[in-house]
Structure 1
Amino acid sequence: MNLETILQKTYGYTSFRPGQKEIIASVLSGKDTVAMLPTGTGKSLCYQLPGYLLEGQVIIISPLLSLMQDQAEQLMLNGEKKVIAFNSFLTHEEKRQSLMNLRRYKFIFISPEMLHFEAVLSQLKKLRIALFVVDEAHCISQWGYDFRPDYLKLGEVRKRLGSPLTLALTATATPAVKEDIKKSLGITEGSEFIYSVDRPNISLSVERLNSYRDKIERLVELAETLEGPGIIYFSSKKIAEQTAELLRDRGVGSVMAYHGGMDQESRILVQQQFIHGQLDLICATSAFGMGINKENIRYVIHFHMPLQIESYLQEIGRAGRDGKKSIAILLFAPGDEQLPYQLAESELPDNVQIDWIKGWLEENPEVMSSLSQYEEQIRQVSGLTDTQWRVFEDFFQRKSSQGIPLGRVVEEIKVYNQKRLESKRQSIEEVYSWISMNVCRREHILSFFKEEKTEAIRNCCDVCGLELNDFTKKNNKENQENLQYDWKNHLDALLIPGE
């Protein structure tokens, strides 16, 4: 079997990117595989190509609805009709029809939350699963930067499905997180492919400014002068919206905001306009970018300090997927480190909230076996956010199912939350240290992942030396095509599940 011939016939590419061929060959040889490839190096091909060569369905577990939709859409745009994104975007009737006809599909994207439902698992068990793919596998680890409680259950789900051939993919996993992935999924033997997180074509820069106002002015200046397309990341939906409006008012190209608070149609519209060159710049929260298939993003700016080195790498990795020079700039002003601490604390229920829920459950012991049915009531009175509720409910259900009494469960939740908070604080301190230290920024990041810098890179970082003029606008007319694109028909097609 000549994989290059199959690659060219199926995708039109003449060669693989580093790591792709080795991972695909491992999967095709029947080995469970854990792979870490940097953001932007084509992880999706590692399950798509084997999927065409293996008999049966490919199940892809994906953490974000937007990511799932993007990946499913890319397959459809490449001519694959037997693909479905099975998630909460589907109506009840669409879910019912899709479940009854899962055998029609070759690629089935599904959120981990959907695997809670026995009806879904029951239908999946009837399939001949050729490959079980866990995308963004770092979400499994309780100590990873983007832990999702629902991912913890994937090991049990995999077991119930007969332990099918499995591929776990991630772009950023420390050695400890990688071991967590294998342990949780029950992968005792198999192959590992761990590639460097480094993207040499992305220059790294931190600019220290004196105040918030100075940051805004510098941001406008960069947006005016840097060659795009670009993405600016914010920790606040409101500030992303306000900055997009400011940039439009200042005449900075075609700019739109993107965040999780927008409705599905608006998000898809912004994504597609950006991909097709109708927008030059996106002011986004972290909800934007995963799975976006746009190779020519030239810069990524962080207006707010990231909470972790890993998420920072994920986000800057959206630049320069074509291999051409790109730049990542982080703007920092005194006091910026306080916001990440506040965000980290807000992700977990505090002790007062936990104690209130304990008191309520003691007064209503009959609801403990069906806690999820009372989510709205509990959240309304306790003030838990969606994220806090997911953390609390998952922990409570796991411990209660083991027969642990309420009082002990509550104490264990408090201990667990404290450890998680300490872990998040440590991650924030690592980012702050990286910002503050006067050493090669690339070298410092690589050391975090137990790697070493092995080559000299022109325009490596602001510490080693960087010519910002190399990244400024040229007098060209790139990204001006497709101006008459039929967005209404495109959106209609995207919003029809399974088509």
Structure 2
Amino acid sequence: MELRDETQKLKRAHVILKEKFGYEQFRAGQWQVIQDVLNGHDVFAMMPTGSGKSICYEVPGYLMEGLVLIISPLLSLMEDQVHQLRKIGEKQARALNGLMHPQERKRVLQKINTLRFLFISPEMLRQPQILAVLQRTKVSLFVVDEAHCVSQWGHDFRPDYLYLAQIKAKLGYPPCLAVTATADERVRVDIARALDLRDVRQLLMSVDRSNIALIVKKVMDNSEKVDQLIQLLSKVRLPGIVYCAARDWTERLAEQIRLHTGLRTAYYHGGMDAVDRRKIQNQFLDGELDVLCCTNAFGMGINKPDIRLVVHFQFPGTMNAYLQEIGRASRDGKQGLAVLYYTEQDERYPSGFIDMNFPDDTMLHQVLVELDQGLLQTEPKDNFLETLQGRGASETAARFLYEQVRAVPREKRFLSILDECRRIIRERRIIQMNDLKVMKDYINSNTCRRAFYQSFYKEKQQHKPKLCCDQCGLQFDAFSGEESPEDRPHSEQILEWRARLTLLLKGSDHEK
């Protein structure tokens, strides 16, 4: 009987896959995840970038009664996912976000029982009025997309992720699907605990992308690094992403690349206006840019299969982040290249970011004292965060403090949590410094780089590609571009989108 039921499920799933999405067969791992979801299990799936993780909750959405609720970290990612569903004719997919007009948000909530897919951020999900509506709705599947954010951001930058288990309980414990491209063993345990995954089924596919070659290039200083980057971009296949640790570097590099190569180049970082970021992202996705210089604010969920190059101008603080970012190259299966430039000066960035994640001891003590004296108030939250940031705390450190003090009972003094806060900071710093050590070990390794990170994820190297890494004899010559630099447009022909838009608007005014 069970075998017949499973066969029927598979047939129905194949029909959906072909009729809705146009695919003949499931990719590796997809049916296993879908099957476990349809059988009511919690599932953790680690599947490489480009493997079709979204199919794992979209197909069940057509086979289960009720709403598929997808918790997504970024507005742009939600919009893209809704857009992709709309392209296949799905009209019952919406996203709820803070930029929506209140009336539009109200209309979505009023029609929630007619929806099949709802994308939402963890912050929006915690709003009482939204949670109240969802509690009256049949949620058939609780999806946490980019689940590494639960561990990577939840403890510090976006603590709302740590309340997902409570919300899931309030919704009646629907089956939970957590999906990500990279998560080491510690992060997987962290995710399972934070989401309260029960009787969980795991699909752990290899983190290795054999079509992405790996090069680490050590240089003397930033000047040499810029020179080498410009030479690289003049020779290799594009489009490419250049990741920088600091916002000012994205702007400086974009200007240098434009001046010296004539490539269509722009920058992207979290300090830009949201509209500007969206326009730059769309330009890159539409093939109007050759190179995008950005911070780690860019890239999550980006659906651009033909990125050929990912450069790290400074290295990230964790192996998980590094593999997430280089995994944006060559999702179409063709050859890609990941280059990491390193100089000793770079080490100040990840170490500095770790320090910035937490308030220093002086600020921690002072804030607790002022809360006890009534000189500071925890609510409204935005005022509290702004006050701390005005005193020099980073946004992450301010959010950390807020999460610690908001839970203090009225009968207790705020200063009573001082030692506990110190303990939490100490423990989290140790974890983050250990993650950083792994990344440094990767950079300084004299063995195969692919084998290094596979060992970190407790994988055995099954296949060594011909174009593997610099430690295996790989040279830049293997990645020469398909067109010569002379064929590329000259810098004077390149205009940033603002300038182009201004000219277009002037032109339309003359036409009027």
TM-score by length of 2: 0.88
Residue of structure 1 in register with 2:447 after alignment: 439
Residue of structure 1 in register with 2:423 after alignment: 415
The residue identity in structure 1 corresponding to 2:238 is: G
Asked whether 1:392 is paired with 2:433, we answer: no
The residue identity in structure 2 corresponding to 1:231 is: I
1:225/1:472 contact within 8 Å kept: yes
1:43/1:169 contact within 8 Å kept: yes
Question: 2:211 aligned to 179, 186, 201, which one?
Answer: 201
Q: Distance in 2 between matches of 1:177 and 1:192?
A: 14
Query: Residues 140-196 of structure 1, C-alpha deviation per residue, up to 9 Å, x if partnerless?
Result: 237999874111100000000111121111222122322222222222213111111
Q: Distance in 1 between matches of 2:254 and 2:166?
A: 44
Asked whether 1:102 is paired with 2:112, we answer: yes
Q: Distance in 2 between matches of 1:373 and 1:289?
A: 27
Question: 1:217 aligned to 214, 222, 227, which one?
Answer: 227
Name whichever of 139-148 and 358-367 sits farther off: 139-148
Q: Distance in 1 between matches of 2:87 and 2:358?
A: 39
Pairwise CA distance, 1:138? 2.2
Pairwise CA distance, 1:296? 1.0
1:144/1:177 contact within 8 Å kept: no
Pairwise CA distance, 1:426? 1.7
Q: Distance in 1 between matches of 2:188 and 2:169?
A: 19
Q: Distance in 1 between matches of 2:450 and 2:410?
A: 45
Q: Distance in 1 between matches of 2:429 and 2:66?
A: 42
Name whichever of 444-453 and 82-91 sits farther off: 82-91
Residue of structure 2 in register with 1:379 after alignment: 388
Pairwise CA distance, 1:269? 1.6
Asked whether 1:323 is paired with 2:333, we answer: yes
Residue of structure 1 in register with 2:414 after alignment: 406
SS of residue in 2 equivalent to 1:84: strand
Query: Residues 233-254 of structure 1, C-alpha deviation per residue, up to 9 Å, x if partnerless?
Result: 0111111012112211223321
The residue identity in structure 2 corresponding to 1:472 is: S
Asked whether 1:76 is paired with 2:86, we answer: yes
Q: Distance in 1 between matches of 2:224 and 2:95?
A: 43
Q: Distance in 1 between matches of 2:366 and 2:154?
A: 29
Q: Distance in 1 between matches of 2:344 and 2:488?
A: 37
Pairwise CA distance, 1:39? 2.3
Q: Distance in 2 between matches of 1:239 and 1:256?
A: 12
Q: Distance in 2 between matches of 1:320 and 1:4?
A: 27
* Mapping 1:47-446, distance limit 5 Å: 47-141=57-151, 148-364=158-374, 367=377, 370=379, 372=381, 374-376=383-385, 378-379=387-388, 381-398=390-407, 400-401=408-409, 405-446=413-454
How has the CA–CA distance of structure 1 residues 144 and 94 changed in structure 2, closer, same or farther, with 3 Å as cutoff? closer
Q: Distance in 1 between matches of 2:38 and 2:232?
A: 46
Q: CA RMSD in A?
A: 2.5
Pairwise CA distance, 1:57? 1.1
Pairwise CA distance, 1:8? 2.1
The residue identity in structure 2 corresponding to 1:44 is: S
Residue of structure 2 in register with 1:6 after alignment: 16
Query: Residues 432-472 of structure 1, C-alpha deviation per residue, up to 9 Å, x if partnerless?
Result: 11111101101110111111112222111100121322222
The residue identity in structure 2 corresponding to 1:412 is: E
Q: Distance in 1 between matches of 2:67 and 2:416?
A: 43
Question: 1:32 aligned to 17, 39, 42, which one?
Answer: 42
Query: Residues 309-366 of structure 1, C-alpha deviation per residue, up to 9 Å, x if partnerless?
Result: 1000000000011111111000011222122111211122111221221121021089
1:228/1:299 contact within 8 Å kept: yes
TM-score by length of 1: 0.90
Show structure 2 runs of 5+ residues with no match: 1-9, 490-499, 502-512
SS of residue in 1 equivalent to 2:172: coil
The residue identity in structure 1 corresponding to 2:374 is: N
1:143/1:423 contact within 8 Å kept: no
How has the CA–CA distance of structure 1 residues 345 and 479 changed in structure 2, closer, same or farther, with 3 Å as cutoff? same
Higher gyration radius (CA)? 2
Q: Distance in 1 between matches of 2:410 and 2:205?
A: 39
Residue of structure 2 in register with 1:462 after alignment: 470
Residue of structure 2 in register with 1:451 after alignment: 459
The residue identity in structure 1 corresponding to 2:424 is: Y
Percent identity among equivalent residues? 38
1:356/1:382 contact within 8 Å kept: no
Pairwise CA distance, 1:417? 1.2
